[in-house]
Amino acid sequence: MELVMIIVIGFLFAAATYLMLSKSLLRIIIGTGLLSHGAHLLLLTMGGLKEGAPPLLGEHAERYVDPLPQALILTAIVISFGVTAFFLVLAYRSYQELGTDNMEQMRGKEEDD
């Protein structure tokens, strides 16, 4: 099971890298989304994918899945939500101000403004 997950995560990372190397800013942001998906799935996989009950003591199971990676992922998800929301608004503002979403045209120094 871990092997399948690792291959899928590898595809996510490849797609994220490809998108982040493109010219359009929105594609880049989609790439960062895929990258954080990959990272979160990786945390889950690396914690181990063995059979077990959900980590709720009310389940009275013999063994539970590891609760720590789930807490880490939850933290990482909200952080990347915050950053992505900020990044999207930043992209919107710079589209308004600079009039382009092409990264090739976002060059230059203060003299060019």
Note the residues at the interface with another protein (CB under 8 A).
20, 25, 28, 32, 35-36, 38-40, 42-43, 45-48, 68-69, 72, 75-76, 79-80, 82-83, 86-87, 90-91, 93-94, 97-98, 106, 108-110, 113
Shortest distance (Å) from residue 40 CB to another protein: 8
Shortest distance (Å) from residue 72 CB to another protein: 6
Of 79, 55, 83, the closest CA to residue 69 belongs to 55
Contacts of 18 (CB under 8 A, 6+ apart): 31
Cα–Cα distance measured from residue 77 to residue 40, given in angstroms and rounded to the nearest whole number: 7
Cα–Cα distance measured from residue 14 to residue 10, given in angstroms and rounded to the nearest whole number: 6
Three-state secondary structure call for residue 24: strand
Amino acid at 85: A
Closest CB to another protein among residues 47, 53? 47
Closest CB to another protein among residues 63, 109? 109
Shortest distance (Å) from residue 74 CB to another protein: 12
